[in-house]
Amino acid sequence: MLMLTQALAALGRRAIEVFASFGRAGFMLFRAIIGRPEPARQWPLLRQQLYSVGVRSLLIIMVSGLFIGMVLGLQGYLVLTTYSAEASLGMMVAISLLRELGPVVTALLFAGRAGSALTAEIGLMKATEQISSLEMMAVDPLRRVIAPRFWAGFISMPLLSLIFVAVGIWGGAMVGVDWKGIDSGFFWSSMQSAIEWQKDLLNCFIKSVVFAITVTWIALFNGYDAIPTSEGISRATTRTVVHASLAVLGLDFVLTALMFGN
């Protein structure tokens, strides 16, 4: 009986900690985003963070998109030739990238590359008491530190997702047209006739925006809430990658069900 009581108490404490974390995360986001805007002061910070989280993520996004598109082209060609439908390869590659692989893989790569860097950076600022120094100078660290990084992630990820899709389609065309000899007219015409603005392009953008908010929010909160030690920052960085990846995959199912479930 005592062991059961202790187990229930531990479970209750853990549940309270989880709900408290959600509350702190929501409060942090509200204060950082809804606070008074200062474009003149925050634009240089935003531009710097756009370069840090966006431009520096371009290489891994483009290389990953190229190889995933090439793999899609090769595997799709092998399957479609069984049914003599290899002319539909462009449609298959484009729809796969737009509806699922583009936004999801971009978000996972962003979480691993930029999200972990954001968490480590904020955690290090907290460990070296830079956050406390800003508060002592009457500077709101949420608006000065968190807000520019949040908006940089919010802007960068949808653009990176579109770049991923474009490079992936190019990779699929390289395999299908240049290697396997599919007629380029069939490849591009099947893709253009199959893609719809609302069902494919708009939904891809919506997924990217939702994932951008989720991944950046998780990364910034874990850094801001990290224990200011080397071990605490390491654990916070690991939590960012794990939690953001799971959140992206779970939200992908929810969004897909809402968009294509009917």
pLDDT of residue 1: 66
What residues contact residue 94 under an 8 Å CB cut-off, 6+ apart?
A: 165, 169, 172, 191, 194, 195, 200
Is residue 19, in this structure, part of any structural domain at all? no
Q: How confident is the model at residue 102 (pLDDT cuts 50, 70, 90)?
A: very high
Number of domains comprising the chain = 1
Is residue 179, in this structure, part of any structural domain at all? yes
Per-residue DSSP letters for the chain? -HHHHHHHHHHHHHHHHHHHHHHHHHHHHHHHHHSPP-HHHHHHHHHHHIIIIIGGGHHHHHHHHHHHHHHHHHHHHHHHGGGT-GGGHHHHHHHHIIIIIHHHHHHHHHIIIIIHHHHHHHHHHHHTTHHHHHHHTT--HIIIIIHHHHHHHHHHHHHHHHHHHHHHHHHHHIIIIIIT---HHHHHHHHHHH--IIIIIIHHHHHHHHHHHHHHHHHHHHHHTS-SSHHHHHHHHHHHHHHHHHHHHHHHHHHHHHHH--
User: For 45-80, how does the pLDDT look when each residue is reduced to its tens digit (9 = 90+)?
Assistant: 888 999 999 999 999 999 999 999 999 999 999 999
Higher pLDDT, residue 19 or 39: 19
Is residue 239, in this structure, part of any structural domain at all? yes
Q: Find the mean pLDDT for residues 132-150.
A: 84
pLDDT of residue 40: 63
User: For 163-200, how does the pLDDT look when each residue is reduced to its tens digit (9 = 90+)?
Assistant: 999 999 999 999 999 888 888 888 898 888 888 888 88
Structural contact between residues 96 and 72, judged by C-beta atoms closer than 8 angstroms: yes
Structural contact between residues 62 and 165, judged by C-beta atoms closer than 8 angstroms: no
Is residue 4, in this structure, part of any structural domain at all? no
pLDDT of residue 39: 62
Is residue 37, in this structure, part of any structural domain at all? no
**Closest-CA residue to 98 (of 65, 67, 145):** 65
**pTM across the whole model:** 0.90
pLDDT of residue 84: 83
214: left (phi over 0), alpha (psi -120 to 50) or beta: alpha
Structural domain range at position 196: 60-257
pLDDT over 90, % of the chain? 53
User: For 105-122, how does the pLDDT look when each residue is reduced to its tens digit (9 = 90+)?
Assistant: 999 999 999 999 999 999
**Closest-CA residue to 150 (of 224, 100, 201, 202):** 224
Is residue 209, in this structure, part of any structural domain at all? yes
User: For 209-251, how does the pLDDT look when each residue is reduced to its tens digit (9 = 90+)?
Assistant: 999 999 999 999 999 888 888 889 999 999 999 999 999 999 9
- Give the integer Cα–Cα distance in Å for 187 and 201: 19
Is residue 227, in this structure, part of any structural domain at all? yes
Is residue 166, in this structure, part of any structural domain at all? yes
